[in-house]
Amino acid sequence: MTINEIQQGIIKEFENITEWEDKYALLIKFGRDLAPFPTEFRTDKNKIEGCQSQVWLNASFSNGKLLIDADSDSTIVKGLAALLIKVYSNQTPTEILSSPPEFLHKIGIDNHLSPTRKNGLGAMLKQIQLYAVAFNALNREQL
Amino acid sequence: MISFSQENDIIVKESKYRKFDVNEIRRDFPILERKVNGKPLVYFDNAATTQKPNVVIDSMTHYYRYENANIHRGLHFLSEVATEQYENSRLKVKEFINAMSASEIILTKGTTDGINLLANTMCRADLLNEGDEIIISHMEHHANIVPWQLLCDRKKTKLVVIPIDDNGELMMDEYKKLISPRTKLVSIVHTSNTLGTVNPIKEIIEIAHKNNIPVIVDGAQAVGHQKIDVQELDCDYFVFSGHKLFGPTGIGVLYGKAELLNKLPPYQGGGDMIRTVTFEKTTYEDIPNKFEAGTPNIVGGIGLGVAIKYLNMFNFQDISRHENELLQYATEKMILIDGLRIIGTAKNKASVISFTIDGIHPYDLGTIIDTDGVALRTGHHCTQPLMKRFNVPATARASFSFYNTIDEIDVFINALNKAIKMFR
């Protein structure tokens, strides 16, 4: 599936949820369902320091695609990380860089990306994009 | 009912205290009527900043509409009106904390600015040097840690820390042991923004003074909750912010004993703080102007004066009694919640409750509770060493002001229980 298709799928999933707590209940579920974060990835290098919560992010490159693993000490932030992984993991760097996370705004939780939240999520998104740039450059070199 | 006369004076008899009626008080604060996420706002983040009464808001718009001019310069009508109002606020502050003279009141940007002013000027006056020690406590806000660390880096001065016990109370015996001939300054928080602990500030000052050590008191969380009398405390310096006192942000107070302030060099250079300027030599104004370079936050100063005038209508005993009721009620309800741990259980405590709940991250708790319109603070509250002391990465914090109610605490407790259900 393309990034756009995945984003549309998430938007649809949230479409009929009007109550805030139900939205968060779904996010909490995504957070809980996220694949366990391998302990060897839990390094200082992979840690994105937030003021309010912390995020760990590991990226690797396989068959021209970026693979992302993430974790957070906050369940809601972990749920948001799970959404970013759904959208951006297993995609090519080119597609990642040309697809902003519009779904966050559409489902009404882009406030968690605001710098005042200091939850490490904005930094996580930036980090994914940086990895995409780096792997893109690497890809070109190998070609 | 409070209204403005043409001279922008609040018509109120200051000699008589207003009857303490929380519902009536709430009507003075327009923001308390608003809804958040479709629910009535429950504002429990008063330790971060307090809300503003109509009189403060109105005084500020009134100033900009009818009285705006620069102060301390210009003979014209508006300049005189603005100057009089600004200086009148200084007088209000002087009376509010019972300083000996209005010249001992330096208007700053806030508590942080006040401490930085002192750290910088004490550094330049060589009052703190290599091998000297500054005593602070383990419960300081970063604003009373970092300015001293910057000074210590330059002067090779040492920062020593009074430990606290598991209740979040200062270990006074340890404090006494830390005092030595090397101690040149004590800079200490009056009321902890995270724990709510109210420190025995008078005793701390007495002990320091017996050893001829000056004391700075960070009063940011104390003002607005209890009567402050700097002469009775005999503190050498006292700093606080206007915005925690129902006044505007960006304005604060540094009180200092005149004899000490006179010995400090100017902080920043510029207009308004000089007597004569030539390219060869500049002479400075006396206090307080010496420390107030440039056009100040005029409207902030005026707003602060009105906030103090508003607060003066109440008896601090009524405010304390009400806030203590809120603290007791909330504490009793909260300790019944399974897995809830209150951080800060001092005997003498302000209406601040920091807490954690087993298995739920404070960020998650704050986010869910916000959907019910309840404003809490989550995070390290600018007290990272304190978080480490209690072995928690962060806490959630509810802090009450005199306009909060028991009903609001019930809403908060229900929201807490709902959030817990979602995560467990």
B363/A54 touch (CB, cutoff 8 Å), yes or no: no
B363/A21 touch (CB, cutoff 8 Å), yes or no: no
Is the CB of B379 inside 8 Å of chain A's CB atoms?
Answer: yes
Percentage of chain B surpassing pLDDT 90? 92
Q: Which two tokens stand for residue B258?
A: 């005149």
Report the pLDDT value the prediction gives residue B14, as an integer from 0 to 100. Answer: 46
Report the pLDDT value the prediction gives residue B1, as an integer from 0 to 100. Answer: 38
B394 closest CB neighbour out of A21, A52, A75: A52
B379/A118 touch (CB, cutoff 8 Å), yes or no: yes
Q: For residues B135-156, give the mean pLDDT.
A: 97
**Which residues pair with residue B399 across a beta bridge?**
B45, B352
Provide the shortest C-alpha distance from residue B364 to chain A (in Å). 6
Report the pLDDT value the prediction gives residue B379, as an integer from 0 to 100. Answer: 87
A21/B422 touch (CB, cutoff 8 Å), yes or no: yes
Which CATH fold topology does B66-311 show? Aspartate Aminotransferase; domain 2 (3.40.640)
- All domains in chain A, ordered by first residue: 3-142 (3.90.1010.10)
Cβ contacts (< 8 Å) between B367 and chain A: which residues?
24, 76
Report the pLDDT value the prediction gives residue B62, as an integer from 0 to 100. Answer: 97
Task: Write the CB contacts of A27 (distance below 8 Å, at least 6 apart in sequence).
Answer: A76, A79, A80, A83, A109
Is the CB of B394 inside 8 Å of chain A's CB atoms?
Answer: yes
**Does the pLDDT at position B21 exceed 60?**
yes
Is the CB of A61 inside 8 Å of chain B's CB atoms?
Answer: no
**Does the pLDDT at position B322 exceed 60?**
yes
Mean residue pLDDT across chain B: 94
Catalytic residue among B123, B152, B235, B382: B382
B364/A21 touch (CB, cutoff 8 Å), yes or no: no
Rounded Cα–Cα distance for residues A108 and A104 (Å): 6
Indicate the range of A6-15, A50-59, B107-116, B164-173 predicted with least confidence: A50-59
Rounded Cα–Cα distance for residues B49 and B378 (Å): 14
B39-53+315-423: which CATH number, 3.40.50.2300, 1.10.3720.10, 3.30.70.100, 3.90.1150.10? 3.90.1150.10
B371 closest CB neighbour out of A20, A28, A54: A20
At B408, give phi and psi (nearest 5°). Answer: -65, -35
Q: For residues A24-49, give the mean pLDDT.
A: 90
Cβ contacts (< 8 Å) between B377 and chain A: which residues?
none
Rounded Cα–Cα distance for residues A66 and A138 (Å): 12
Report the pLDDT value the prediction gives residue B4, as an integer from 0 to 100. Answer: 45
Catalytic residue IDs of A: 51
B423/A75 touch (CB, cutoff 8 Å), yes or no: yes
Residue ranges matching CATH 3.90.1150.10 in chain B: 39-53+315-423
Rounded Cα–Cα distance for residues B306 and B263 (Å): 31
| Confidence grade of residue A136 (pLDDT, cut at 50, 70, 90) | confident
Report the pLDDT value the prediction gives residue B10, as an integer from 0 to 100. Answer: 52
Q: Which of residues 14-43 of B touch A (CB under 8 A)?
A: 37
Is the CB of B367 inside 8 Å of chain A's CB atoms?
Answer: yes
Report the pLDDT value the prediction gives residue B5, as an integer from 0 to 100. Answer: 46
Is the CB of B417 inside 8 Å of chain A's CB atoms?
Answer: no
B363/A76 touch (CB, cutoff 8 Å), yes or no: yes
Q: What is the pLDDT of residues B360-402, one digit of tens each?
A: 999 999 999 999 999 999 988 899 999 999 999 889 999 999 9
- First-last CA distance in chain B: 48
pTM metric for this prediction: 0.91
Cβ contacts (< 8 Å) between B37 and chain A: which residues?
20
Chosen from B39, B356, B361 to mutate, greatest number of chain A CBs within 10 A: B361
Report the pLDDT value the prediction gives residue A117, as an integer from 0 to 100. Answer: 65
Rounded Cα–Cα distance for residues B149 and B160 (Å): 11
| Number of other residues whose CB lies within 10 A of the CB of residue B372 | 21
Task: Write the CB contacts of B324 (distance below 8 Å, at least 6 apart in sequence).
Answer: B351
Q: What is the dihedral of CA A103, A130, A29, A14, to 10 degrees?
A: 0
CB pairs under 8 A between A and B: 42
Is the CB of A20 inside 8 Å of chain B's CB atoms?
Answer: yes
Is the CB of A71 inside 8 Å of chain B's CB atoms?
Answer: no
Q: For residues A3-21, give the mean pLDDT.
A: 91
Q: For residues A28-52, give the mean pLDDT.
A: 88
- Omega prior to B288 cis, within 30 of 0: yes
Indicate the range of A115-124, B153-162, B189-198 predicted with least confidence: A115-124
Is the CB of B380 inside 8 Å of chain A's CB atoms?
Answer: yes
Report the pLDDT value the prediction gives residue A51, as an integer from 0 to 100. Answer: 62
Question: Looking at this predicted complex, what is its ipTM?
Answer: 0.87
Percentage of chain A surpassing pLDDT 70? 92
Whole-number Cα distances in Å, B86 to B196, B202, B267: 32, 31, 21
Q: What is the pLDDT of residues B59-104, one digit of tens each?
A: 999 999 999 999 988 789 999 999 999 999 999 999 999 999 999 9
Report the pLDDT value the prediction gives residue B6, as an integer from 0 to 100. Answer: 45
A74/B380 touch (CB, cutoff 8 Å), yes or no: no
A44 compared with B137, residue with greater pLDDT: B137
Q: What is the pLDDT of residues B199-247, one digit of tens each?
A: 999 999 999 999 999 999 999 999 999 999 999 999 999 999 999 999 9
| DSSP secondary structure, B69-84, as one string | --SSS--SHHHHHHHH
Residue ranges matching CATH 3.40.640.10 in chain B: 66-311
**Does the pLDDT at position B8 exceed 90?**
no
Q: Which two tokens stand for residue B156?
A: 């090779």
Is the CB of A76 inside 8 Å of chain B's CB atoms?
Answer: yes
Q: Locate tokens 């959404």: which residue?
A: A83
Contacts 24+ apart (CB under 8 A), A119-122: A119/A50, A119/A51, A119/A52, A119/A53, A119/A55, A119/A72, A119/A74, A119/A77, A119/B363, A120/A48, A120/A49, A120/A50, A120/A52, A120/A53, A120/A54, A120/A55, A120/A72, A120/A77, A121/A50, A121/A55, A121/A77, A121/A80, A121/A81, A121/A84
Q: Which two tokens stand for residue A69?
A: 């693993």
Closest to B118 (Cα-Cα) out of B238, B286, B249 = B238
Report the pLDDT value the prediction gives residue B151, as an integer from 0 to 100. Answer: 96
Q: For residues A100-129, give the mean pLDDT.
A: 80
B422/A25 touch (CB, cutoff 8 Å), yes or no: yes
Is the CB of B424 inside 8 Å of chain A's CB atoms?
Answer: no
Report the pLDDT value the prediction gives residue A56, as an integer from 0 to 100. Answer: 92
Q: What is the pLDDT of residues B52-61, one digit of tens each?
A: 999 999 999 9
Q: Which two tokens stand for residue B78?
A: 């508006």
A75 closest CB neighbour out of B364, B378, B380: B364
